Amino acid sequence: MGHKVDFHCFACHYEEQDLGVGAGRRPSPYLSLFRCDHCHSIGSAWVEEGQRPRCSLCYHDEPTVLPEDATFVDCPKCGKRGVITHRRDDTWE
């Protein structure tokens, strides 16, 4: 089952909430967490097995894929370290 994550940067106050991560009932497709240096955002996008995600905001085809269990990520807006909070109790299928 997948779960939701939130991103918050304490330096510039950029945040994203309720990003889905993981797979549902089937292993593919799955929601992959990414950082896009093209439009300076963090998000998640559906990915088929063996494929790379595209940014769900600007459709750039090479966002930086983040590990599903990442907790600290450089903020795409200011470059300082931000925090990813995993809400494993908020799951989806």
Q: Give per-residue pLDDT as tens, 49-65.
A: 888 889 999 999 999 99
Q: Answer yes or no: pTM beyond 0.75.
A: yes
Q: At 18, is the pLDDT very low, low, confident or very high (cuts 50, 70, 90)? A: very high
- How much helix, strand and coil, in percent to the nearest 5, is found in the chain? 0, 50, 50
Integer Cα distance of 65 and 36 in angstroms: 9
Alpha helices in the chain (DSSP H): none
Across the chain, what does the average pLDDT equal? 93
Please give the structure tokens belonging to residue 27. Answer: 């292993």
Average pLDDT over residues 15-39: 93
Q: At 68, is the pLDDT very low, low, confident or very high (cuts 50, 70, 90)? A: confident
Domain hosting residue 44, numbered range: 2-92
Task: Compute CA distances 35 → 58, 70, 89, 92, whole Å.
Answer: 12, 12, 24, 22
Q: Give per-residue pLDDT as tens, 78-89.
A: 999 999 999 988
Number of domains, the chain: 1
